[in-house]
Amino acid sequence: MKTNVGPLGLFCTALLVSALTLSIRSTASFSQYDSPPNTPSNTIPVVTTYAHEADEVPARHQAASAAVQDAADASRLVVRVKKGDTLMDILMKSGVAADDAEQAISSLREVYNPRRLRTGQKVTLLFGADSSLTPASGYEPPPAAGSEDAGALLGIKLHPDAGREIAAKRDPAGTFSAAETQKHLTPVDVRSAGVIRTSLFDAAKAAGVPQKVLAEMIHAFSYDVDWQRDIQPGDRFEVLYEKLADEDGESVDTGNVVYAELVLSGQRLALYHYTTKDGITDYYNQKGESVRKALLRTPIDGARLSSSFGKRKHPILGYTRMHKGVDFAAPKGTPIYAAGNGVILSAGRHGGYGNYIEIRHNPEFHTGYGHLSRFAKGIHAGTRVTQGEVIGYVGATGLATGPHLHYEVIRDNKKVNPLSVNLPTGRKLRGKEFDEFLVAKAKVDTMVASLPVEPKIASSE
Ligand SMILES: [Zn+2]
CA of 375 to the centre of ligand 1 (A): 18
Task: pLDDT band for 142, please (50, 70, 90 cuts).
Answer: very low
Output phi, psi for 95, to 5 deg: 85, 20
Residue 61 has pLDDT above 50, yes or no: no
Q: How far apart, in whole angstroms, are the C-alpha atoms of residue 5 and residue 87?
A: 26
CA of 376 to the centre of ligand 1 (A): 20
Residue 13 has pLDDT above 60, yes or no: no
Q: Is residue 158 part of a domain?
A: yes
**Which range has the worst mean pLDDT, 37-51, 304-318, 367-381?**
37-51
Domain boundary among 133, 159, 182: 182
Residues 58 and 82 in one domain: yes
CA of 388 to the centre of ligand 1 (A): 21
Residue 119 has pLDDT above 80, yes or no: yes
395 vs 1: which has the higher pLDDT: 395
pLDDT, residue 161, reads 77
Q: What is the pLDDT of residues 183-204, one digit of tens each?
A: 788 889 999 999 999 888 889 9
Domain boundary among 144, 165, 182: 182
Residues 57 and 175 in one domain: yes
Residues 205 and 335 in one domain: no
Residue 39 has pLDDT above 80, yes or no: no
Q: Is residue 202 part of a domain?
A: yes
Q: Is residue 2 part of a domain?
A: no
Q: What is the pLDDT of residues 235-261, one digit of tens each?
A: 999 999 999 887 777 777 898 999 999
Q: Is residue 130 part of a domain?
A: yes
Q: Is residue 263 part of a domain?
A: yes
CA of 362 to the centre of ligand 1 (A): 23
CA of 404 to the centre of ligand 1 (A): 8
Q: How far apart, in whole angstroms, are the C-alpha atoms of residue 430 and residue 339?
A: 25
Q: Which residues neighbour ligand 1 (ion) by CB within 5 Å?
A: 325, 327, 406
Q: Mean pLDDT for the chain?
A: 77
Residue 15 has pLDDT above 70, yes or no: no
Task: pLDDT band for 327, please (50, 70, 90 cuts).
Answer: very high
CA of 314 to the centre of ligand 1 (A): 9
Residue 43 has pLDDT above 70, yes or no: no
Polymer length in residues for the chain: 461
pLDDT, residue 391, reads 97
CATH assignment of the domain containing 46 = 3.10.450.350
Nearest one of 40, 236, 235 to 148, comparing CA atoms: 40
Task: pLDDT band for 134, please (50, 70, 90 cuts).
Answer: very low
Q: Is residue 36 part of a domain?
A: yes
Residues 74 and 136 in one domain: yes
CATH assignment of the domain containing 397 = 2.70.70.10
Residues 205 and 141 in one domain: no
Residue 432 has pLDDT above 90, yes or no: yes
CA of 160 to the centre of ligand 1 (A): 41
Task: pLDDT band for 149, please (50, 70, 90 cuts).
Answer: low
Cα dihedral across residues 416, 420, 426, 431: positive or negative: negative
Residues 176 and 65 in one domain: yes
pLDDT, residue 218, reads 83
CA of 293 to the centre of ligand 1 (A): 23
Residues 126 and 161 in one domain: yes
CA of 263 to the centre of ligand 1 (A): 35
CA of 371 to the centre of ligand 1 (A): 9
Q: What is the pLDDT of residues 345-397, one digit of tens each?
A: 999 999 999 999 999 998 899 999 999 999 999 999 999 998 889 999 999 99
Q: Per-residue pLDDT averaged across 218-229, rounded?
A: 76
CB 394 within 8 A of CB 260: no
130 vs 242: which has the higher pLDDT: 242
Residue 437 has pLDDT above 90, yes or no: yes
Q: Is residue 21 part of a domain?
A: no
Q: Is residue 8 part of a domain?
A: no
Residues 128 and 116 in one domain: yes
Residues 400 and 446 in one domain: no
CB 126 within 8 A of CB 71: yes
Residues 192 and 207 in one domain: yes
367 vs 310: which has the higher pLDDT: 367
Which residues form the domain of 380? 304-416
Q: How many domains would you assign to the chain?
A: 3
Residues 102 and 70 in one domain: yes
Nearest one of 419, 22, 412, 366 to 205, comparing CA atoms: 22
CA of 348 to the centre of ligand 1 (A): 17
Cα dihedral across residues 77, 82, 86, 88: positive or negative: negative
8 vs 213: which has the higher pLDDT: 213
Residues 91 and 129 in one domain: yes
Q: Give Cβ neighbours of residue 272 (< 8 Å, ≥ 6 apart).
A: 258, 259, 283, 284, 285, 286, 437, 440, 441, 444
pLDDT, residue 76, reads 84
Domain boundary among 135, 154, 182: 182
CA of 326 to the centre of ligand 1 (A): 5
CA of 424 to the centre of ligand 1 (A): 23
